Structures are given as C-alpha cells and as structure tokens.
Structure 1
Amino acid sequence: MSESSAQHPTASRPPHPVVPACRQEQGAGPIDGMPQSTVRRRHRLRAARLWRSRAVRAGVLITLLALCGLVILALVREQTGTQGFLVGLGLATLPVPLLLAAFRWLDRVEPGPWRNLLFAFAWGACAAALIAIIANSFATRWIATATADPASADTLGATVIAPIVEESAKAAAILLLFVFRRRDFTGLVDGVVVAGFTATGFAFTENILYLGNAFGEDQAFGTSGFASVTAATFFVRIVMSPFAHPLFTVLTGIGFGFAALAAQRHRLRRIALPLLGLALAMGMHALWNGSASLLGPWGFYGVYAAFMVPAFGLLTWLTIWTRQRELRTISHELPAYAAAGWLAAAEPRALSSMRARTMARDFARRTYGPAAGHAVSEYESFATSLAFLRHRAHRGAAGPDFAERERELLHHLWRRRDVAAPALVYAARATGRVIAPPPHRDYGGHNPYRH
C-alpha cells in the first residue's frame, strides 16, 4: 500500500454522486436543464422503440414457453394417465400460493415487476421441467446401457445427474433476468425471489408427476387411505419439504444477488459468485437426493433434520436481515435528495418504514380513491429504486447510465410529488417518525390528488 493511500483510506472508493439541483422556477421542467416538452417527447420516442422490440421478444418467449408447457403436459399425462394427472395437479397446487406469497412478501421493499416473476415461474414449470425430464431420462438410459445395471443407473441418475441438470435448467431463468432485466435485478433479495419463483414452478410440475404416478400405483394395487403411496408421497413432498427445490435454487439466486452488488470493475467476482451459488445448489440437491437413494428412510430424515431445516432457517434469516438492511439504505441515501428539494424532509423516514409506507397508501386510497393509492405506491417504488441506485453508485456498481437513470427516476417522482408527498408526510407524523402536529385532513382545503 502506498503512503498516500495509507493516509487516505477512502481515496480509492468511488466518489459520492452529486444530487442534481431541484429547480422550481416558473416555466422550468422538473429535471434541471430539460424542458417538460422535451422530456415527454423523448419518453414517447423511447417508449415506441422499446415497445416494438419488447413486443417481438415477448411474443417469441411466450410462444416458446407455451410450446414447452404443451409438451410437458403431454409427457406428464402420458406417464400418469388422465385421472392420475388430475389428482396430481390438484394436490401439487396446494403449496404453490403459500410459497409464492412468502417470496413476494420478502420483496415488499422494492417489489419486482410481476412480468419477471411470472416468467420465472413459467420457465421453472415448463422449460426447466421439460429439460429435466428429457435430459434425466436420456442420461439414465445411457448409464444403464453402458453399465448393464439399471438399479445403479437410477441411483446415479438421481444423485448426480438430476442435481446438475435440474439446477442448471432453473439457473437459466435467473441468468436471463440478470442479463436482460438488469435494472430490476439489484441485489440479494431479487436473486432470492426470482430463484424462489423459478423453483416453485419446477416443483409444481415435478409434484404433479410424482403424485400422479403414486396415484396410478395405488389404483393398480388397490391401496387407499393413509397406507397408500399417494398419501406417503404427499406427506414427504408437500407437507415435509415443499421448500426443498426453492431452497436449492435460492443458493444460485444468492450468488447472482451478490454479483449484482459487486462493482463493475470486479468482473471475476461477478462471474465466480453465480457459479459458486450454482455449485452449492447442486451439492445440496445431491445430498438431498442421495439421502433417500443411498441411506434409506432413516438417512433421509436425518439429513432433513440435520441439514435441510437449519439451512432453510439460516437462509430465511439472511433474507429478512437483507430486507431490513435495504430499509436502512433508504433512510441513509434519500436525505440527500430531500436536502436538494426533491423530497419533503419527512419523506425519507416514512419511506424507510414498511408501516409508514402502508399507512400512506391506505390513507390516500381511503381519502381520495384507488388512483391516489396507486400513485403513492408508484412513488414509493421509484423513491426506493432511486435510493438503491445511489447506493450502488457509492459502491461503483451503478453502471455508465447512472446519471440518465437518476434523472428518469427523479422525473417520475416529480410527476407524482403533489399526490404522494402529503400522504407520506402524514404517515411519518402518524407513526411518530416525525414529531410535528398532524396535518389537516384536506390539507388546507386543497385536494392534492385531484387533477
């Protein structure tokens, strides 16, 4: 370390970005140096170009996923029969809403677009499941032919081949969103949520297959009730371990999340971390499958108690801690914009409290209608994105379009300021985050939500 760097340890850090001045002169646009008409024209032109390209890409993607869905539907129905498929579908659906709601709850601070999450679920349920069925079947048959030992081929396929194939197929969805929806993929929570939706979709299709086959076996042997194979399969896959696939793939998502936080100059880290997460996901998946294939039922329950439950608890704690850290980031970054005049002084503290954010939305919706509540929700989302963008700029991970993205977010905030700011100030005061007299309900006779 050189003498100068030793004396000034912060010299190598990225400089703090300068907050644009908030000009409010008569006739000036909300963004410094950019007239309002120019802003609208540029947004219309950009939106037109993006809509054309996105429509084509979205159409192709939806078509491919739909084809994968039809193929996987035909394959599963062929293996389980129509009655088994319907029984498996009904039972496999039960944990899906709970898992999706849990992952969406983790994403409350800066909710990702639903289109990204629906893509992740559809990829897991259709594309990843189809890849897994075809690749696993081909690999198992090839091993059985090469070794002339079908029993060991099934064990090797479940313990080695399946974890590699399935985790790679699920990781492809995370990679696609990381590359093509980079603005929406900003940190660890985003990686966890995308991975959770992808794995939930994959487990949904896999559970239909396993439960449908179990029902067919019970029909063939005439068993029913708690002693049936269907009941045992339901207990293991739906009651005991509905989080198994999400837990594996979340490790990959965490790797991508840490890569999103890494500075642009750390290219090796941005590549190595997702690969490390994928390797850990494959290893835990192999341990889970091997516990049943190699150790028998007692080994399975031992691995479940000793590894799976603690790992699930640790990852849950890590994700919730990260969410609280995101709220602290908002309270740390947004005061700079309040000082520059973009936000009211009370807004950063309200935006860093989930209770105050909810109260602001409810107050606006209850007092001035659903459109007002929606405007406040959008305002909170844009303000959160702005705080995270500035935080990434401090770390050197914001990218070359930082200034353009910052101005765009400030423009969106400005358009909703008269709508959202009073509700957030009210929520800050009502929750005690700002010590001041409560505002008059109609803000002095002026309805800020009426245009």
Structure 2
Amino acid sequence: MAINLSLAGAGVLQALVYLLFIRSVDLYEREALRYVLPVFIWGFSVAVVFSLLFNTLSAVTLTEVASVDQRVVSFVTAVFVAPVVEEFWKGLAVFIVFLVSFVVHRRRGVVEFSGVMDGIVYGSAVGFGFSIVEDLLYYAQAGPETFVVRRLFGGFAHAAFTSLTGIGVGLIPWVRYRSLKVLLPLVGLGGAMLLHGTFNFMASVFGPAAYVVLLFVLAGYAVLIAAWLWVERRVIRNELRDEVGGSISAAEYGILPTYFRRTLYYARLFFTGHPIEWHRARQVHAAAVDLAFTKRLSRISHAAPQEYRLRYLRGRIAEHRGAGASVYEP
C-alpha cells in the first residue's frame, strides 16, 4: 500500500514535537540535545531493526517448528515476545547514554543523567523514535486510518513503556547501596516489559479499550513528574542555602528554586535589551543548579569523595559570572 508522504511527514513531525515537549517538562536541569537526539535516532533505527528481526524469527519459529495456528502466533508474539524484545533494544539505548554521560561528565563535576525526570526524557526519546517507524509499518499494512488512530491515541505508548527503564537507570546515582544500583534498572526494565505486554494484551483482546488504560498510565506519569519536580525544587533550595554570599547572591537564591520566577527574569533581561547579561545569567544559574544536585548526590552515594567536583562547579560559576552577572531584583 502506497504511503501518503504528507501524512507520514505529519506523523514524524508529531513525534519530534512530543520529544521537545517532554524535554521541556524537565524544568530545572534540561537534557542536552546532543544526548537526546541520538537516543531518538536509536529508537527508529537500531531498536526497530533488531526488534523486527527477533520478532519475525520468533513468529517463524512458532509457525514452522511448533506448527501453531497463525492467530495464536500473532497473539503470543504481541503479548509475550514483542514486549521483551522491543523493551530490551530500546532500553539498551538508555543504558548506553547513561554510561556515556557518566564517563564524559564524571570528571567535569556534573552527573548528566540522574533522577526520575531524566529517565523519563531518555526513555520517551527512544520510545518516540521507535513508535513512528512502527506506526509507518502499520500504515503500509493496514492503511492510513490505522496510522492516524495509532498516532492520535497511542503516540505516547512506547514512551510510557520505556520511561520505566529510564526511571530505573536514572535512580542509580540517587541510591546508596550497590545492590539497589543493579536492581533498580532491572526492575525498571521488567516493569517496561510488563506494561508493554499488558497494553498489547488489552489491545488484542479488547481493542480500543487499551487506549483508555494508556490514558490512566499517562495520568500516573503526570503525577510522578509533578512529585519529582517538587523534590528537585527542594534539593535546589536546601543545597544552595549555604552558598548564599559565596557562589550566589541572596537575590539569585530567591529565584533559583522557582522555575517561573527564573523564566520571567530571563525574559525581562532579554526583552529589555540585555542579551549578554541574559546569556551570562543562564550559565551561572545552570551551574548553580548543577552544584545543588552534585552536593545532594555526593552525600547519597558511596562514590569517591566529590569535593573536587564541588570546587570545580563553584569555579565554573565564578568563570561564567565574569565581570558580574545581572542579579534579580524583586
């Protein structure tokens, strides 16, 4: 079946908009696109290719070797095989980006991938990449109506599944014991497979009712995201309190924990013709937020002493400040 390029392009654009939206929800420590985009690309390339290969091999094995009825093969593949295969290959991207970011930034004083929100961003990125190609394959097989329905109602499905893997990986720096550092990613991966399998079971047995279940799942994520952002805000407030008068001013401390006050401050600088101060303030504040999370993580983990990282971040704040960054005035 021929694919309407305009409709397919709209689907790809939708996936990119979803990706940028999820990244923007990470209010306090937004992930760099140089990490997010490769994960998205992995989703629609490596993850799709290997998942299609193993899913097909499994279906052929069940059909030819076990002589299973084709309807049963489709059900078993969708409910038991595809969730395991697809979540493994999508989750692998999340593990890789965590390791790469950890190695690259460890000596620079910043843990780039840490926490629930980061896990959701990376898990969603690979999920959005995977889902657009999967939906295009459904388009080729079942027509544009199926493609539109899957895009409108299921565009967040794979993102929701793999976000559980991302959360498990993102919590590694936040737990003290090595056993938990190993267990949490495995629990997250297992949860992603289970949620994926449950959704596919609902879709196979009850059809569109699966999207109702997905809606409740997304509502749960919204609550989780709000709770984690509250945790991050408390971390920033608590950890930067003793930096006042040193790395940051009292006025800066007043706006740093509150995303919207910071945003209004940046807007005021930018639209009143102070682009240099706007850029400098953003750099100073980003380094201060990194300092807050690094201080918190240094007390939680049993990693090597991180005092040198704290000194590095304080030095980076001073370097970005230069001759003196603008300070918020109530």
Q: Give 1:152's aligned residue.
A: 72
Q: Give 1:406's aligned residue.
A: 310
Q: Does 1:171 align with 2:82?
A: no
**For 1:1-400, what aligned pairs fall within 5 Å after superposition?**
83-84=2-3, 86=5, 89-149=8-68, 150-182=70-102, 183-215=111-143, 230-235=144-149, 237-263=150-176, 266-293=177-204, 295=205, 299-305=206-212, 307-339=213-245, 341-396=246-301, 399-400=303-304
Query: 1: distance between equivalents of 2:323 and 2:35?
Result: 28
Query: 2: distance between equivalents of 1:107 and 1:292?
Result: 31
Query: 2: distance between equivalents of 1:359 and 1:347?
Result: 13
Superposed displacement of residue 88, structure 1: 5.9
Superposed displacement of residue 347, structure 1: 1.4
Query: 2: distance between equivalents of 1:308 and 1:131?
Result: 25
Normalising by structure 2, report the TM-score.
Answer: 0.91
Q: Give 1:227's aligned residue.
A: none
Is contact 1:125–1:203 with CA below 8 Å preserved after alignment?
A: yes
Query: 2: distance between equivalents of 1:132 and 1:370?
Result: 47
Give the number of aligned pairs: 321
Query: 1: distance between equivalents of 2:17 and 2:321?
Result: 35
Is contact 1:364–1:376 with CA below 8 Å preserved after alignment?
A: no
Q: Give 1:69's aligned residue.
A: none
Query: 1: distance between equivalents of 2:306 and 2:265?
Result: 29
Query: 2: distance between equivalents of 1:312 and 1:234?
Result: 19
Superposed displacement of residue 279, structure 1: 0.8
Q: Which amino acid aligns with 2:100?
A: F
Is contact 2:269–2:277 with CA below 8 Å preserved after alignment?
A: yes
Normalising by structure 1, report the TM-score.
Answer: 0.67
Superposed displacement of residue 165, structure 1: 0.6
Q: Write the deviation string for residues 311-333 of structure 1: whole angstroms up to 9, x where unpaired.
A: 21011111122112211211111
Superposed displacement of residue 418, structure 1: 5.0
SS in 2 for 1:422: coil
Q: Write the deviation string for residues 415-442 of structure 1: whole angstroms up to 9, x where unpaired.
A: 122566433x22xx1xxxxxxxxxxxxx
SS in 2 for 1:201: helix
Query: 2: distance between equivalents of 1:350 and 1:87?
Result: 44
Q: Which amino acid aligns with 1:211?
A: Y
Superposed displacement of residue 382, structure 1: 0.8
Distance 1:393 1:286, change over 3 A: same
Is contact 1:87–1:212 with CA below 8 Å preserved after alignment?
A: no
Distance 1:404 1:416, change over 3 A: same
Q: Give 1:416's aligned residue.
A: 320
SS in 1 for 2:164: helix
Superposed displacement of residue 127, structure 1: 1.0
Superposed displacement of residue 363, structure 1: 2.9
Query: 2: distance between equivalents of 1:292 and 1:269?
Result: 34
SS in 1 for 2:17: helix
Q: Which amino acid aligns with 1:256?
A: V
Q: Write the deviation string for residues 187-206 of structure 1: whole angstroms up to 9, x where unpaired.
A: 11111111111101111111
Query: 2: distance between equivalents of 1:310 and 1:332?
Result: 33
Superposed displacement of residue 156, structure 1: 1.1
Is contact 1:168–1:278 with CA below 8 Å preserved after alignment?
A: yes
SS in 2 for 1:352: coil
Distance 1:119 1:303, change over 3 A: same
Query: 1: distance between equivalents of 2:208 and 2:257?
Result: 42
Query: 2: distance between equivalents of 1:346 and 1:136?
Result: 57
Query: 2: distance between equivalents of 1:287 and 1:396?
Result: 35
SS in 2 for 1:324: helix
Q: Write the deviation string for residues 132-179 of structure 1: whole angstroms up to 9, x where unpaired.
A: 111111111111111223332222111111000100001011101221
Is contact 2:168–2:184 with CA below 8 Å preserved after alignment?
A: yes
Query: 2: distance between equivalents of 1:347 and 1:87?
Result: 48
Superposed displacement of residue 368, structure 1: 4.5
Is contact 2:41–2:126 with CA below 8 Å preserved after alignment?
A: yes
Query: 1: distance between equivalents of 2:304 and 2:8?
Result: 47
RMSD, aligned CA: 2.0
Distance 1:242 1:409, change over 3 A: same
Superposed displacement of residue 283, structure 1: 0.9
Larger radius of gyration: 1
